Amino acid sequence: MLQHHKFENLGGADHGWLNAKHHFSFANYYDPEKLSHGELLVINDDRIAPHTGFDTHPHKDMEIITYVRKGAITHQDNKGNKGRTTAGNVQVMSAGTGIFHSEYNLEDEETNIYQIWIKPTEKGVSPNWDAAEFPKTPVTNNLQLLVSGDGRAPLHIHQDARIYAGRISKGNALQHAIAGKAYLLVAEGNLLVNDLHARKGDGVAIYDEGSVTLKAETEAEVLIIEVPGLQDAR
């Protein structure tokens, strides 16, 4: 089953320096029908104005993944980690026993990110931060595995979850096998997900499907987040 969450129907708030859209209940946005998707707790589509950002704040026992769609985000934390992640690339932070960090858009243009929170399998792990760059060329047969908990991906999280991404050229199609539950994000362009038309900014919750067929109706960029199917959080 596919459940379409159109961008214009997402919750959110405009704080001036931050224009945020929430795929699930977050902060002052609450929808009892959209609390989470299994172990996937948060997807925020954030637009951050130039030379602004999130001041230093704490996190604990959470896997936080940031996919940069436009611009760049600069991270710094109290464990000595610092890095700048640019468009198309990903950073991962395991908050574990506790970490304080800041995230700033130090660029002269707006930065657009997906911030993704996944519940870890265990509490109290050692905090960690890492980032990786990925090829920008379109995929043909398979989306690229960016993040996983099993050591197969460049970036590691403490959960049996996977994040795939890729650019698909107009008219091209591929089939993606799914383990557990999945949530698809259209980062750019228009995409046909089986027979569902999804556009830039949309989300598609995927239940009880062994695979989905993706066809790019325009040049498109897609992310798929797979999490264990442990609970029904529709």
* Bridge partner residues of 63 (DSSP): 94, 118
pLDDT number for residue 135: 86
The amino acid sitting at 45 is D
190-193, strands of its sheet edge to edge: 173-177, 211-216, 190-193, 196-199
Token duo for residue 123: 């509490």
pLDDT confidence bin for 72, thresholds 50/70/90: very high
| Of the candidates 90, 53, 59, 51, the residue with the CA atom closest to the CA atom of residue 77 | 59
Say what the pTM is: 0.95
Question: What distance lies between CA 35 and its chain's CA centroid?
Answer: 16
What average pLDDT does range 143-155 have in this prediction?
Answer: 97
Chain region(s) in the chain for CATH 2.60.120.10: 11-132, 144-227
pLDDT confidence bin for 22, thresholds 50/70/90: very high
pLDDT tens track for 151-177: 999 999 999 999 999 999 999 999 999
The span from the CA of 9 to the CA of 24, in Å, is 11
222 class by beta-carbon count within 10 Å (0-12 exposed, 13-18 middle, 19+ buried): buried
CB distance 131 to 85 below 8 Å: yes
CATH architecture of 144-227: Sandwich (2.60)
The Cα-based distances of 170 to 1, 130, 153, 188, 220 in angstroms read 25, 32, 27, 12, 7
Percent of the chain residues topping a pLDDT of 70: 97
The domain 11-132 is placed in CATH, from the list 2.60.120.10, 3.40.30.10, 1.10.10.10, 2.60.120.650, at 2.60.120.10
The span from the CA of 29 to the CA of 112, in Å, is 20
Is residue 233 pLDDT above 50, yes or no?
Answer: no
Average pLDDT, rounded, for the chain: 95
